[in-house]
C-alpha cells in the first residue's frame, strides 16, 4: 500500500475483512490465536470493522500493518448520526476493533523495536471526501460532536489484554474499556500527533481491576483518562508509562459514579509528542470534574511522577465545566509523593481547588518540586512535607525526566 493507501477498488471494499472475521469466528472460544502474517508479496492488510470473539487473541506479526477502512459507511451504527460528520450525540460510528470478554490484541515477539501495527489512518481523507477523520473532529470544536470511530474498544467485556502492539493515527480514542472488569495493557505503543483532537490514548470508564504498564503514549488529548459516568471505576494501576504531548494522566471529567483506589507510579510525562511537536495544552496529572458530572474521587496516589515542558503540572479542577448542576465533585484522600515538574512552559500554572467549603480538596503533597511558581488554590485542605513551587528555579533544572 503506497503512502498507506490502497487502490480505489480495495479502498471501497476493504478486501481482507471477510477472511479475518471468518478466521476469528472459527477460533472463538478455543483459547488460541488468529495470526496475521506477512506473505512474500505484502505485509499490509486492509479491513472494515472486526470483532475479536471471547476466548481468542488477534496477533499481528511484527512486520504486519492492519489498516483501518476509510469508508465511513463501514462504521455506521444504524439509527444514529452519520459516521464521518458532526452531529447528534457523537456515537454514530462503530469501533475498528471490538474486543469481547477473555480476548486480546497483541504483536508476536520480535528482536529490536519492530511490532505489529494497527493504523487508524485518521490523518487521511475519509473515502469520497476531502476531510480526514481528524479534520471532522477539529470542525466540532466550536459546536457539535464528531462521529468518528475508536480504534480499539471493549464494552461490557471482562478480562481483556493488549500487549506489545503499536496503535497509530486513530480517528478517535485509541483504546476504550467501558463497563468491564479486568484490563491489562502492557508494552503498547501509541503514536499519534498532539494536534489530533480528541484522540485519547487509553480510557477506562466504569472499569475495575485495570493495569496500564510499561507503555508509550503519544496522543492528541488525555494520555490516560479514568472516567466513572454511570458505573464506578476502582483498583486501577498506571505503572512505568511514558506519555508524550498529551494532557497527561487524568481522572474525569465524568466522576458521578465514583473513582477510588488509583495508583499512578513511576510515570514520565513530556509536553512534546512523539514527533517533537510541543503541545500548547500539555498537562501532568489532573483530576477534572464539574457540578454536572461530579462525584466522589478518593484514595488516589501519584508516586514518583516527573513532568517536563508542560503548561499544567498539577491540576485538581472541580469546575472544569461552567454548566450548572447538582452533581458536586468531591476529591479527597489524594496523595502526591515524589512529584517533579521541570522546564515548565511560560505562564505555566498549577490548580489545587476544591469545589467549596463543604466539598474541599483533600490533598497531601510530599517531596514535590514544581519549577513554576503560579499556584491557584481555593477550598483546599492541603498538608505538605517538602513541597516547593517556583523556588527550584534558582537551581539548574534537570534536562529531562530520565
Catalytic amino acids?
Answer: 221, 247
C-alpha span between 95 and 48 (Å, rounded): 10
| Structure letter (DSSP) for residue 392 | G
- Cβ neighbours for 394, distance < 8 A, ≥ 6 positions apart: none
Q: Which three cell numbers stand for residue 43?
A: 505485509
Please tell me whether residue 218 adopts helix, strand or coil conformation: strand
DSSP states of 162-216: EES-EEE--SS-SEEEEEEEEEEEES-EEE--TTSTT--SEEEEEEEEEEEES-E
Q: In whole angstroms, how far apart are CA 228 and each of 155, 198, 205, 252?
A: 14, 18, 5, 7
- Cβ neighbours for 193, distance < 8 A, ≥ 6 positions apart: 218, 220, 245, 273, 274, 275, 277
Please tell me whether residue 29 adopts helix, strand or coil conformation: coil
Task: Decide: 234 and 299 in contact? Cβ < 8 Å.
Answer: no
* Residue 138, H or E segment: helix 133-139
Amino acid at each position: 500500500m503506497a503512502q498507506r493507501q490502497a487502490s480505489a477498488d480495495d479502498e471501497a471494499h476493504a478486501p481482507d475483512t471477510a477472511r479475518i472475521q471468518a478466521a476469528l469466528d472459527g477460533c472463538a472460544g478455543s483459547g488460541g490465536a488468529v495470526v496475521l502474517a506477512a506473505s512474500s508479496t505484502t505485509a499490509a492488510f486492509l479491513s472494515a470493522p472486526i470483532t475479536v470473539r471471547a476466548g481468542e487473541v488477534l496477533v499481528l506479526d511484527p512486520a504486519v500493518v492492519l489498516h483501518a477502512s476509510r469508508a465511513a459507511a463501514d462504521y455506521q451504527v444504524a439509527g444514529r448520526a452519520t459516521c464521518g460528520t458532526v452531529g447528534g450525540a457523537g456515537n454514530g460510528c462503530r469501533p475498528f476493533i471490538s474486543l469481547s470478554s477473555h480476548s486480546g490484541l497483541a504483536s508476536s515477539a520480535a528482536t529490536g523495536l519492530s511490532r505489529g501495527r494497527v493504523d487508524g489512518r485518521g490523518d487521511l481523507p475519509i473515502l469520497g471526501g476531502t476531510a480526514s477523520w481528524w479534520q471532522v473532529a477539529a470542525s466540532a470544536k466550536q459546536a457539535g460532536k464528531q462521529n468518528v470511530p475508536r480504534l480499539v474498544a471493549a464494552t461490557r467485556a471482562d478480562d481483556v489484554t493488549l500487549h506489545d502492539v503499536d496503535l497509530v493515527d486513530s480517528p478517535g480514542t485509541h483504546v476504550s474499556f467501558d463497563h468491564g472488569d479486568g484490563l491489562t495493557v502492557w508494552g503498547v505503543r501509541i503514536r499519534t500527533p498532539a494536534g489530533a483532537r480528541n484522540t485519547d490514548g487509553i480510557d477506562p470508564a466504569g472499569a475495575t481491576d485495570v493495569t496500564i504498564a510499561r507503555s508509550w503514549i503519544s496522543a492528541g488529548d488525555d494520555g490516560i483518562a479514568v472516567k466513572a459516568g454511570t458505573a464506578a471505576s476502582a483498583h486501577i494501576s498506571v505503572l512505568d508509562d511514558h506519555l508524550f504531548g498529551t494532557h497527561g494522566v487524568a481522572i474525569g471529567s465524568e466522576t458521578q459514579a465514583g473513582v477510588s483506589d488509583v495508583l499512578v507510579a513511576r510515570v514520565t510525562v513530556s509536553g512534546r509528542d512523539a514527533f517533537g511537536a510541543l503541545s500548547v495544552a500539555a498537562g501532568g496529572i489532573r483530576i477534572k470534574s464539574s457540578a454536572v458530572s461530579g462525584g466522589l474521587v478518593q484514595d488516589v496516589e501519584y508516586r514518583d511522577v516527573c513532568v517536563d515542558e508542560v503548561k499544567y503540572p498539577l491540576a485538581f479542577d472541580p469546575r472544569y465545566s461552567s454548566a450548572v448542576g447538582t452533581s458536586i465533585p468531591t476529591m479527597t484522600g489524594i496523595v502526591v509523593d515524589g512529584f517533579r515538574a521541570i522546564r515548565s512552559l511560560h505562564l505555566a500554572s498549577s490548580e489545587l481547588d476544591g469545589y467549596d467549603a463543604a466539598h474541599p480538596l483533600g490533598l497531601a503533597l510530599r517531596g514535590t518540586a514544581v519549577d513554576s511558581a503560579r499556584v491557584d488554590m481555593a477550598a483546599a485542605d492541603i498538608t505538605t512535607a517538602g513541597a516547593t513551587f517556583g523556588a527550584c528555579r534558582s537551581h539548574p533544572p534537570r534536562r529531562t525526566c530520565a
